[in-house]
Structure 1
Amino acid sequence: MIQNNESIFRERVGIIKSGNYTAGSTQEDALKQILRLLVNSVQNEWHERVKHLASELQLGNLMLSLLETAQTDGTKAYYIF
């Protein structure tokens, strides 16, 4: 499950960074998936892995700002950076 989450996380961050959106993968969809992975990182191992990935993939202020605007489903982000 952690490897699957990591793959999804990397893919969605890549989509956001490249701006390669499609009808099936809009910016909002990609941001919501990233946000869910960040918020739902309840397993300690995934929590540590997502911190490493965030650093490796250079999630900066722009990404965090985009994620804040993607919170349309009422979830709250727990920032771990």
Structure 2
Amino acid sequence: MKFVDAAIRLIVDGGCVYSLHKTATRDFILKNASRKKGIECECIAELTWDLPATYRHHRKASLDIAVDLIRYTKSP
């Protein structure tokens, strides 16, 4: 979350930033962002991320991961 926190600090008034997170962590992400003053957070899309095998010991050629596209908006 430090990376997201850093991005949120850089948002100008009326601006926004987007991030991808595993769907399983949605509640944690939204709860954490709701604690930040002047920041609105919402899940705007549920997507499937095709994660290819990157190491020889991976048995599957790829794996589909459920992810959320989260938008953080700073109120003017």
TM class, shorter-chain normalised? 0.3 to 0.5
RCO higher in structure (CA 8 A, sep ≥6): 2
Q: Name the one with the larger strand percent.
A: 2
TM-score (norm 1): 0.37
Larger Rg: 2
